[in-house]
Amino acid sequence: MSQTDLLILGGGLVGSALAVAAAAHGLTSVVVDPADPAVTTAAGFDGRASAIASAPMRMLEAIGVAERLAGKGCPIEGIRVSDGLEPGALDFVPGDDEDALGTMVENRDLRTALLDAAGAAAGVDLRMTTSALAVRRDAHGVHVTLSDGSEVRASLLIGAEGRNSPTRAAAGLNVARWSYDHVALVTSIGHEHPHENVAYEIFYPEGPFAILPLNDDDRGHRSAIVWSVRSGQAPGMQKLGERGYLAELSRKMGGFLGELTWLGPRFAHPLGFHHAARIVSDRLALVGDAAHGIHPIAGQGVNVGFRDVAALVEVLVEGKRIGLDPGDPALLQRYERWRSLDTFMVAAATDGLTRLFGVPGRTANRVRRLGLSAVQRSPALKHRFITEARGESGALPKLLAGLTV
């Protein structure tokens, strides 16, 4: 029977990052996930890319993952927000002595880097293509029987399986959730003009339309597209031929990147919101989408999960230094207090933006444009938004500052 500090159910972006960060601080873990890495790291798996904010990227640097992403990330050196294609856009640009606002990384590259780092870490036992058949938590620890016939004992169970976390459900942790009746159409495109490392968020009444910079390849300039449409429209859009789809994209973009030259594989992801009322229980902590799922409108989904990782590792390491067990209730309560307000505020902000920019009509459009213009003219407000975009607001865990705990 294996003995470990953490048993992490879910080896996705957040679960694997937690394992690597914990190992960098002397905590051992067993990571269990039924997925096959050969499938989840393939180009055709889901097509998404993540905007890794500055602070989470510093954590990836501190735990040795960023070096595995060398040359694979595109810096975000500006963000332009507009209400449709109307004049009056809001521009966010870092100062001359500041780092980029974030880095665009294709999810398959990020998964590969994290899984490789986890596989190389001395304190991580990676059990992919394996499931948990039986889980028991009690005052003495966590006992799990796995599908490969092995048994694992741990001090703390981590639920990191994503939005439909069976661990969360089994623990009876209540979740507030709703659907946006929207689907995110995800693809990549080639275009004539360079994107200059600028990300664009164009708000339409039917949903936001994001153009996210990717590194050029041998085909030329390219960007990722996240296009939010009504659920009823998604099947028809997915059936469009390549020429028709590119024509629709060009209309949404207004032609500022020139001719669209090619279209990558297309994917559709339903959009929804959920937030767990509690993210801890007896010898259990939730991280990432198991704890909270938000609209991708501000590109903060995986960043919020990485903030969970940084906070939980800091709490556990500091507890270990004073002789506390990783499953100690006081440590778990500290983690919950630290993360609950931050995740709720981010969730509320993204939900509010989604609803605000979804209001149709000339009056609503005029009010939004006035608001964008007001922020554009206010350096203090722009700095506040940039701080949020970087993931540097609130009580920042040490890992998000690039420091070990």
Find residue 93's DSSP bridge partners.
none
Q: Check: CB of residue 33 under 8 Å from CB of residue 61.
A: no
pLDDT value of position 363 = 56
What are the C-alpha distances in Å from 153 to residues 161, 172, 310? 19, 22, 24
Q: Where are the beta strands (DSSP E) in 260-370?
A: 260-263, 267-276, 280-281, 284-286, 292-293
Q: Give the mean pLDDT of the chain.
A: 88
pLDDT tens figures, 53-104: 999 999 999 999 999 999 999 999 998 988 888 777 778 787 777 788 899 9
What are the C-alpha distances in Å from 248 to residues 2, 223, 240, 252? 54, 16, 10, 6
pLDDT of residue 22 exceeding 90? yes
Q: Where are the beta strands (DSSP E) in 84-206?
A: 90-92, 102-106, 124-128, 132-138, 141-146, 151-159, 175-191, 198-204
- Percentage of the chain lying above the pLDDT 70 cut: 86
CA 212 to chain CA centroid, nearest Å: 15
Encoded amino acid at 59, one letter? M
pLDDT value of position 371 = 58
Find the range with the poorest average confidence among 75-79, 338-342, 380-384: 380-384
pLDDT of residue 391 exceeding 80? no
Query: Can you tell me the mean pLDDT for 166-192?
Result: 91
pLDDT tens figures, 319-336: 999 999 999 999 999 999
Q: Check: CB of residue 204 under 8 Å from CB of residue 361.
A: no
Query: Can you tell me the mean pLDDT for 294-316?
Result: 84
pLDDT tens figures, 343-362: 766 666 665 555 555 555 56
